[in-house]
Every structure is written in structure tokens, then in C-alpha cells.
């Protein structure tokens, strides 16, 4: 690897790149190909940026800021026309071809063995033969998802939804039209484009879209400038906020306080902006309260019956080696999980996982035993 050339592509000096290797750049030697990953952001470089041994760079996907007050946020951020895409509820991956092999990269910059197998299965190999420098940014979604299992979409197992396109060695994204063109050309699922609106007229249209998505339990939308001149915004439904809380309060001591507080605050801003009636406010308050109290109570009562607090999920693989590699991948990321023996199913295997939620287990048992908070 030519360090000076790599540093130049990153927009930093060679000395800066070498210095960062002592702090925020981590070396990863498994699985191959070997790489350096930015564990934290550096000036102008997103966390999750990857430098491969061959000198190629896949930049981290930029974090999308959230609109809390939808109308003022749109007015402040956009002019002209905005495109509104559905925000899918799964986990973020980037897919790229490195030395002729396709790999799926997590947001944190790891090669995920499971996601790589899925990507190789779902994405037309001609895409990278025709476009070897392309990077596909997308969401892995579906019920057989070991990270974020969701059954709110018409998907039997797992699907890759494209939401952006970039190129290696470049942090610039290609925008809405290029993304949907690539998806159509190569038969890749793409996040639904729900409409294009003039910015000054978009707020009410997006509110109605959010209401309809919420009724289906869907997450929300991404609002993009069609000319790709300014950064996008995201905006979520009340039902998605409450679904997140319902899940997290089952494992209340394993999530940061900001996870809970941010979603509660979102509800307040949305209710205020939407000028809800007393009946609508009561409905929202009931939904919010149930998403907190019911799962928390269920966790405590389960522990009082001496039950272990665990997260259950399953996923499907074509190769048992993929399951073994994924187990190692979770272990290196600090996740404690028990894998069942793979169960043959059709031309592959189903693997069930129990993730051990240690902090919530220990805290709940201690409080039940009389420990003060």
C-alpha cells in the first residue's frame, strides 16, 4: 500500500494518517482482505471508512441529521424540489468489489460474513463487472435478520434495498436519480420513492405520508435534494419511535439513556407541530406509555420467574462456514451469543441465536433481591 497516495485520497498528510493509526484507525486481519478502519471520525473522514491493503478506500456513509420540527427543518435545509424516499428499518451496509470479490461492510467498517453471503446472492454480479469502482449503500431488511429482525415488510427472509451509490476513493454520493437508475438497470430492490415535491409545499405532503407509513408500522422517510446539493434529512413515525422503545425497554439497562430520551422528545415535538386534538394526544400518550411500561414489566416479571433475559433471532445461510464466521464476527464485536446447531432447510440452513443481555439480567436480579437503585 502506498501510504502517501492513500493519505492524499483521504485528504490528509502521510504523517497524519500514520499518527491516526495509534489512536482511531484500527487494523483488521480477519476475514480477508486485510484492512484499516476508522473506528471514530477524523477531520473530514466519516467513522467506518475503510482502507484496504491494495490502497482502495470505501468511505463511511455519512450520518443523516434528523428533522424534529418538520416544516421549519425543510425550510431551513432545502430549496427547489425534494425527493421523499421510505426509510427502511434494518441495518446499513456498503457493498463493494475488492480485487474481484464482493464484500458487505458494516457501518463500523467490518466485513460481515453473513451480509457478504447475502449480497453475493442478491446482487447481479454483472453490476461490479461493469462498474468495478462502484459502492452500493443499502439496508438489509427482513425477519431473518440477525441484527434488526422486522416482519413489517412483505419479505420472507432478508432483502437488500439500495438507497445510495458512491464510488471507491470518493466520499461523494451520486444522488436519487443515479441510485434508482442503477437499481432498475441491474434488478436490485431500491427504497421506494414516495414522491417529489417543491420544498415550500412538501411539509403537509410528508406529514400525510408519515401517517400512512405509521399505520403500517413502518419507520419513516428520508428527504433528499434532487440535485444532491445539500445533505438529506430523516423523519420518523410515532409508531416507529414507540416500536423502538418497546424493544429497548425489554433490555433497559443495555441501552444508553439518550436512546430512550431522544424518542420520547421526538413524540413531543411531533405532537406539537401536528396540532393534535385532545383525542389524538391521548391516543399518542397511550401508545407511548404502553411502549415503555408493558415491555419493562414483562422483563421484570420474567426475571422474578427466574427466566433469562435474552434476544432471539434467526437467519438463513447457504454455507455452514458462513454461520461459523458470523459467530466469530459477533464475538469480536463484543456480542455474547449462543448459536444453535444449523438446521437444514431447502438448499441452506436456518441458524437460531440467543443473545445474552447481561447488564439487564444482572441489574434486574439485583433489584429484585433488594438492592437500592
CATH of residue 42? 3.10.450.740
17 and 67: one domain? Answer: no
User: How many contiguous H segments (helices) and E segments (strands) does the chain have?
Assistant: 12, 17
Mean pLDDT in runs of 10 for the chain (373 residues)? Answer: 93 93 92 94 94 97 97 97 97 97 96 98 97 98 95 95 97 96 98 97 98 97 96 98 97 96 98 96 98 98 96 96 96 91 95 94 97 95
Residues facing residue 25 across a β-bridge = 38
Give the dihedral sign, CA 206/209/214/219. negative
SS3 call for 51 = strand
214 and 253: one domain? Answer: no
CATH code where residue 320 lies: 3.30.70
327 and 213: one domain? Answer: no
229 and 218: one domain? Answer: yes
- Please give the tally of structural domains in the chain: 4
Please state the three-class secondary structure of 202-256 as a single string.
Answer: HHHHHHHHHHHHHHCCCCEEEEEECCCCCCCEEEECHHHHHHHHHHHHHHHHHCC
pLDDT of residue 333: 87
Dihedral pair phi/psi, residue 306, rounded to 5°: 65, 25
CATH code where residue 284 lies: 1.20.58.2250
77 and 201: one domain? Answer: yes
300: CB partners within 8 A, 6+ apart = 364, 368
204 and 214: one domain? Answer: yes
Whether 160 is in a domain gets the answer no
CATH code where residue 232 lies: 3.30.1490.70
Q: Going by DSSP bridges, is the β-strand pair 348-356/343-345 parallel, antiparallel, or unpaired? A: antiparallel
Q: What is the pTM of this model?
A: 0.95
254 and 299: one domain? Answer: yes
Q: Going by DSSP bridges, is the β-strand pair 101-106/50-52 parallel, antiparallel, or unpaired? A: unpaired
Task: Single out the residue of 100, 98, 106, 91 nearest to residue 49, CA to CA.
Answer: 106
Dihedral pair phi/psi, residue 248, rounded to 5°: -70, -35
Q: Going by DSSP bridges, is the β-strand pair 310-317/348-356 parallel, antiparallel, or unpaired? A: antiparallel
Whether 96 is in a domain gets the answer no
pLDDT of residue 356: 86
Last residue in a domain, options 256, 271, 304: 304
Last residue in a domain, options 180, 214, 236: 236
State the virtual CA torsion across 320, 322, 326, 329 in degrees, nearest 10: 130
pLDDT of residue 336: 87
Task: Give the integer Cα–Cα distance in Å for 181 and 135.
Answer: 14
226 and 267: one domain? Answer: no
112: CB partners within 8 A, 6+ apart = 93, 104, 105, 106, 326, 329
Range of the domain at 201: 63-88+193-236
Whether 226 is in a domain gets the answer yes
42 and 9: one domain? Answer: yes
242 and 224: one domain? Answer: no
Q: Going by DSSP bridges, is the β-strand pair 233-236/65-66 parallel, antiparallel, or unpaired? A: parallel
314 and 346: one domain? Answer: yes
Q: At 70, list the grid cell.
A: 418538520
pLDDT of residue 150: 94
Whether 146 is in a domain gets the answer no
Decide if 78 contacts 188 (C-beta within 8 A): no
Whether 298 is in a domain gets the answer yes
Q: At 302, list the grid cell.
A: 420474567
Calculate ∠ Cα 337-113-109, nearest 5°.
95
Whether 100 is in a domain gets the answer no
Task: Give the integer Cα–Cα distance in Å for 87 and 95.
Answer: 19
244 and 298: one domain? Answer: yes
Whether 343 is in a domain gets the answer yes
Whether 31 is in a domain gets the answer yes
Task: Report H helices in 60-175.
Answer: 70-77, 113-122, 125-130
CB-neighbour burial class of residue 334 (10 A; exposed 0-12, middle 13-18, buried 19+): exposed
| Number of residues written out for the chain | 373
CB-neighbour burial class of residue 62 (10 A; exposed 0-12, middle 13-18, buried 19+): middle
Amino acid at each position: 500500500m502506498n501510504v502517501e497516495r492513500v493519505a492524499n485520497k483521504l485528504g490528509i498528510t502521510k504523517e497524519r494518517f500514520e499518527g491516526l493509526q495509534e489512536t482511531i484507525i484500527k487494523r483488521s486481519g480477519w476475514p480477508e482482505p486485510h484492512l484499516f478502519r476508522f473506528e471514530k471520525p477524523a477531520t473530514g473522514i466519516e467513522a467506518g471508512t475503510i482502507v484496504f491493503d491494495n490502497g482502495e478506500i470505501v468511505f463511511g456513509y455519512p450520518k443523516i441529521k434528523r428533522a424534529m420540527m418538520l416544516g421549519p427543518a425543510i425550510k431551513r435545509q432545502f430549496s427547489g424540489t425534494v425527493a421523499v424516499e421510505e426509510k427502511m428499518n434494518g441495518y446499513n451496509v456498503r457493498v463493494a468489489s475488492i480485487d474481484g470479490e464482493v464484500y458487505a461492510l458494516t457501518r463500523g467498517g467490518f466485513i460481515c460474513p453473513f451480509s457478504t453471503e447475502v449480497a453475493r446472492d442478491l446482487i447481479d454480479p454483472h453490476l461490479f463487472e461493469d462498474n468495478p469502482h462502484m459502492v452500493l449503500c443499502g439496508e438489509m431488511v427482513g425477519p431473518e435478520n440477525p441484527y434488526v429482525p422486522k416482519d413489517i415488510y412483505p419479505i420472507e427472509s432478508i432483502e437488500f434495498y439500495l438507497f445510495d451509490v458512491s464510488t471507491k476513493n470518493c466520499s461523494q454520493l451520486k444522488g436519487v436519480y443515479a441510485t434508482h437508475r442503477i437499481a432498475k438497470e441491474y434488478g436490485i430492490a431500491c427504497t421506494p420513492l414516495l414522491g417529489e415535491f417543491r420544498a415550500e409545499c412538501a411539509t403537509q405532503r410528508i406529514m400525510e405520508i408519515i401517517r400512512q407509513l405509521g399505520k403500517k408500522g413502518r419507520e419513516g422517510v428520508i428527504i433528499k435534494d434532487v440535485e444532491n446539493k445539500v445533505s438529506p434529512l430523516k423523519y420518523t413515525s410515532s409508531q416507529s419511535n414507540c416500536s423502538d422503545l418497546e424493544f429497548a425497554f425489554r433490555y433497559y439497562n443495555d441501552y444508553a439513556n439518550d436512546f430512550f430520551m431522544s424518542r420520547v422528545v421526538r413524540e413531543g415535538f411531533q405532537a406539537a407541530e401536528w396540532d393534535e386534538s385532545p383525542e389524538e394526544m391521548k391516543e399518542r400518550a397511550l401508545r407511548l406509555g404502553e411502549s415503555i411500561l408493558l415491555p419493562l414489566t414483562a422483563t421484570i416479571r420474567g426475571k422474578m420467574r427466574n427466566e433469562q433475559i435474552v434476544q432471539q433471532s434467526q437467519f438463513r445461510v447457504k454455507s455452514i462456514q458462513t454461520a461459523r464466521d458470523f459467530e466469530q464476527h459477533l464475538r469480536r464485536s463484543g456480542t455474547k451469543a449462543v448459536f444453535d446447531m444449523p438446521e437444514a432447510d431447502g438448499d441452506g440452513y436456518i441458524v437460531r441465536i440467543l443473545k445474552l443481555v447481561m447488564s439487564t439480567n444482572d441489574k434486574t436480579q439485583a433489584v429484585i433481591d433488594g438492592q437500592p437503585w
